[in-house]
Structure 1
Amino acid sequence: MKRIARLRRDTGMATAEYAVGILAAVAFAGLLLKVVTSAKVQSALTGLVERALG
């Protein structure tokens, strides 16, 4: 009986769950890249760096 319980234990993610997790991470990275490469954000980051160095 203990062996069956051990085999049925759900530890970790299955392959499909890994795939969904990876897709979500890639989608988030794409969205973040889109935001960071926008003109407004680049301008703000440039200004921040210039103030920090100057």
Structure 2
Amino acid sequence: MLSRWRAAVRCVAARRVAGERADASRDEGWPAVGWASGDAGMTTAEYAVGTVAAVAFAVVLYKVVTSSAVGDALRGLVISALQSL
């Protein structure tokens, strides 16, 4: 796949030097570049894994913040800040 990409880049560069349109992908000699040839659905799977990880992190953070120790510490911090006014 990388060699096909490099061939496409070389072809675009050669067209620019020759003064031709760089986006003329239907011309003869242009390599067929299939970006999603064997990776169909890979992006969706990555988004799904990222979403699951983000939700898991949010659940852990929620549990930590709503715990009694953190609640007491935050309450103490707020009371201390209000008393200093």
Which bracket does the TM-score occupy, shorter chain normalised? 0.7 to 0.9
Q: CA RMSD, aligned part only?
A: 2.0
| Residue number among 35, 51, 70 corresponding to 1:8 in the alignment | 35
Greater RCO structure (CA 8 Å; 6+ sep): 2
Letter in 2 for 1:50: I
Identity %: 59
* Larger gyration radius, structure 1 or structure 2: 2
Q: TM-score, normalised by structure 2?
A: 0.51
Deviation track 1:4-32 (CA, whole Å, cap 9, x = no partner) reads: 0xx3278xx71111010000000000000
Structure with greater proportional helix content: 1
Unaligned residue ranges in structure 2 (runs of 5+): 1-30
How many residues are treated as equivalent by the alignment?
A: 49
Q: TM-score, normalised by structure 1?
A: 0.78
Residue 66 (structure 2) aligns with = 37
Unaligned residue ranges in structure 1 (runs of 5+): none
